[in-house]
């Protein structure tokens, strides 16, 4: 299946946001490896990642301040949904590269490929969600028999 990036938004400040269609589905075994590696590479543990249930954020350096906020500049964000297709899979559906990330040479693909590589995947090789055809349109009401005659 061919990957298609749609909904590309490029902002004046250099940020790039893209919707991944069909969405990338990270299989259970790869997802477990990726999430374990992201925890081990968190900004709190001298790494560059902050992984939550909704997004994986990449920073340009490690460390957190006294409030627990990352010290580095945000490079980009991968938006994820856990358990949408099956219980233990992770669905990646939108990626945003910040102006700092764009200036440093990051792309949507390179931002995704780093964490996906921890599970032996790339954005190009990642399985995709099955896209169903759109529903049939409603028929014009004039073509239907009238049911309120006689009132």
pLDDT digits (tens, 9 = 90+) for 52-61: 989 999 999 9
* Strands in the chain per DSSP E: 4-10, 16-26, 49-51, 55-59, 74-82, 90-97
Over range 97-114, report the average pLDDT.
96
Domain membership of residue 78 (yes or no) is yes
3-50 residue pLDDT tens: 444 455 555 566 899 999 899 999 999 999 999 999 999 999 999 999
Q: What is the DSSP string of 89-132?
A: -EEEEEEEE-HHHHHTT--HHHHHHHHHHTTT--TTTS-BPPPP
The answer as to whether 47 is a domain residue is yes
Neighbouring CB atoms inside 10 A of 8's CB total: 10
Give the total number of structural domains in the chain. 1
Structure tokens belonging to residue 30: 């790869």
In a domain, 148, yes or no: no
Residue 92's nearest CA partner among 58, 117, 118, 128 is 128
Kindly state whether residue 76 falls inside one of the protein's structural domains.
yes
Q: Is residue 147 part of a domain?
A: no
Is there a domain that residue 135 lies in? no
**What is the per-residue pLDDT for 78?**
97
Average pLDDT, the chain: 86
Task: Please give the C-alpha separations between residue 24 and each of 38, 64, 124, 130, in angstroms, as whole numbers.
Answer: 18, 30, 9, 10
Range of the domain at 17: 4-128
């Amino acid at each position: 299946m061919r990957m298609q990036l749609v909904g590309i938004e490029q902002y004046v400040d250099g940020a790039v946001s893209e919707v991944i269609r069909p969405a990338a589905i990270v299989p259970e075994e790869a997802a477990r490896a990726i999430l374990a590696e992201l925890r081990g590479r968190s900004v709190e543990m001298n790494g560059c990642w902050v992984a939550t249930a909704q997004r994986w954020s990449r920073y340009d350096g490690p460390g957190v301040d006294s409030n627990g906020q990352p010290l580095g500049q945000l490079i980009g964000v991968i938006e994820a949904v856990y358990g949408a297709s099956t219980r233990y899979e992770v669905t990646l559906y939108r990626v945003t590269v910040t102006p700092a990330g764009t200036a440093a040479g990051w792309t949507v693909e390179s931002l995704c490929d780093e964490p996906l590589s921890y599970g032996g995947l790339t954005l190009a090789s990642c399985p995709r969600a099955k896209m169903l055809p759109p529903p049939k349109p409603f028929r014009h009401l004039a073509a239907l028999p009238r049911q309120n005659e006689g009132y």
